[in-house]
Structure 1
């Protein structure tokens, strides 16, 4: 048996953390001396603690780690492999985002060294006035919190694609998202995921066409806020006003793009002259 001090030293985990893990049922001492309360861990628990440390290094939360520890033995390896693959994809997405951030920082540094203002790139965003046609869209409308969009895009668009396949509907365009909330709310925003289809069935609705200020983003979705800022500025300067909710049309599938710079998104602001 190992004392809590020996166990913490070998595994490089503080005794305070070990006591907390005991409280939440993540890893409990094999023995507690009833007279003095000293905690002892078995040699066999070293592997369990090292697994906890490894999963933490993979950015698993304590709740996720506890779920892994409580898996049925006959399913544990398969479920752990699935969980690791999800975390791997998450980390790859974060790496791509960090790579883009580094490129952006390098570009900003070069521009500043040349005397070019850091926000001058917004002036290069082009805005067009276009007339859009009415559409028939198959849609799912949900309240989405700020942290749920990535998962939401996958889930709800997959649901729509599934219905299109099941009911053998004819797609007439690429996926789009309509943002109905009048202001941003981290707790939840009224969001509609949709794909244009030919047939009018349950779950479809008319989406009106009309005059729109439109801009095209070629790059990662993180840059969309700049496009929205430019469009709003253009609408104000050109004496137009918004008449309906803004929306995005995804021209490319991000899963099919080798680099984020290849992603193409169109942003539309329905407008009318003041």
Structure 2
């Protein structure tokens, strides 16, 4: 079992984030000592925390992460990741178009000078 500070260091999640994740039922401690309310995490918690770190990197919302965690078998995770990938690819396409439009706008300003 790992204290919250040890677990935070291991996972890269802050203690505040871990407390928030517990509050929204995203990642609850494996054990809370009733005498001092210290939170303890186990190896299973570590796996889930690392998954959450990855989902954050992929810009999953809290609600999307909750949806992933509620599906204990993770059967829909691949579909959600593919969906997220499509959204990111569309955003890249839109951003490239905006860059092109900016370049064209800048070029038209230089022609008038």
Give your verdict on TM over 0.5.
yes
Q: Which runs of 5+ in 1 are unaligned?
A: 117-274
Moved over 4 A (4+): none
State the Cα RMSD in Å.
1.5
State the 1:102 CA deviation: 0.9
Q: Secondary structure at the match of 2:40?
A: strand
How many aligned residue pairs are there? 113
- Please report the TM-score for the alignment, with normalisation by the length of structure 2: 0.90
Q: What does residue 111 of structure 1 align with?
A: 108
**Cα distance per residue 1:93-133 (max 9 Å; x no partner):** 000001011111112222223336xxxxxxxxxxxxxxxxx
- Please report the TM-score for the alignment, with normalisation by the length of structure 1: 0.39
Q: Secondary structure at the match of 1:37?
A: coil
When residues 94 and 54 of structure 1 are mapped into structure 2, their CA distance, relative to the original with a 3 A threshold, is same
Q: Which runs of 5+ in 2 are unaligned?
A: none
Q: Which has the higher contact order (CA 8 A, sep 6+)?
A: 2
Alignment pair present for 1:46 and 2:83: no
Mapped to 1, the partners of 2:12 and 2:105 lie a distance apart of: 41
Q: What does residue 6 of structure 1 align with?
A: 6
Q: Secondary structure at the match of 1:114?
A: helix
Mapped to 2, the partners of 1:110 and 1:9 lie a distance apart of: 50
Mapped to 2, the partners of 1:2 and 1:115 lie a distance apart of: 66
State the 1:53 CA deviation: 1.2
When residues 90 and 108 of structure 1 are mapped into structure 2, their CA distance, relative to the original with a 3 A threshold, is same
**Cα distance per residue 1:47-92 (max 9 Å; x no partner):** 111101111221211111111111152xx33x11111111111111
Alignment pair present for 1:85 and 2:104: no
Higher-helix-fraction structure? 2
Mapped to 1, the partners of 2:47 and 2:110 lie a distance apart of: 53
